[in-house]
Amino acid sequence: MFGTVSKKAMFGRIREDISVVRERDPAARSSLEVLLCYPGVHTLILHRVASALWRMRLTTPARFVSHIGRFLTGIEVHPGAQIGRRVFIDHGMGVVIGETAIVGDDCTIYQGVTLGGTSLTRGAKRHPTLEAGVVVGAGAKVLGSFTVGAGARIGSNSVVVKTVPPGATAVGIPARIISNDADQQREVQANRMGFSAYAITQGADDPLSIALHQLIDHVAEQDRRIDQLVELLERAGVQPPAPVCDAEPLDAKRLNRLVE
Q: What is the DSSP string of 90-136?
A: -S-TT-EE-TT-EE-TT-EE-TT-EEE-----TTS--S-EE-TT-EE
The mean pLDDT value for 75-98 works out to 94
User: Which pLDDT score is estimated for 184?
Assistant: 41
Given a cut of 90, is residue 120 above it in pLDDT?
no
**Residues 6 or more apart whose Cβ sits within 8 Å of residue 104:** 84, 129, 130, 131, 132, 133, 134, 150
pTM: 0.70
Residue type, 255: L
In angstroms, the Cα distances linking 175 to 97, 154, 155, 179 are: 19, 8, 8, 12
Q: How is residue 77 annotated by DSSP?
A: E
**Using CA atoms, how far apart are residues 33 and 105, in angstroms rounded to an integer?**
23
**Using CA atoms, how far apart are residues 136 and 153, in angstroms rounded to an integer?**
6
Given a cut of 70, is residue 4 above it in pLDDT?
no
56-83 pLDDT, tens digit each:
999 999 999 999 999 999 999 999 999 9
SS3 call for 162: coil
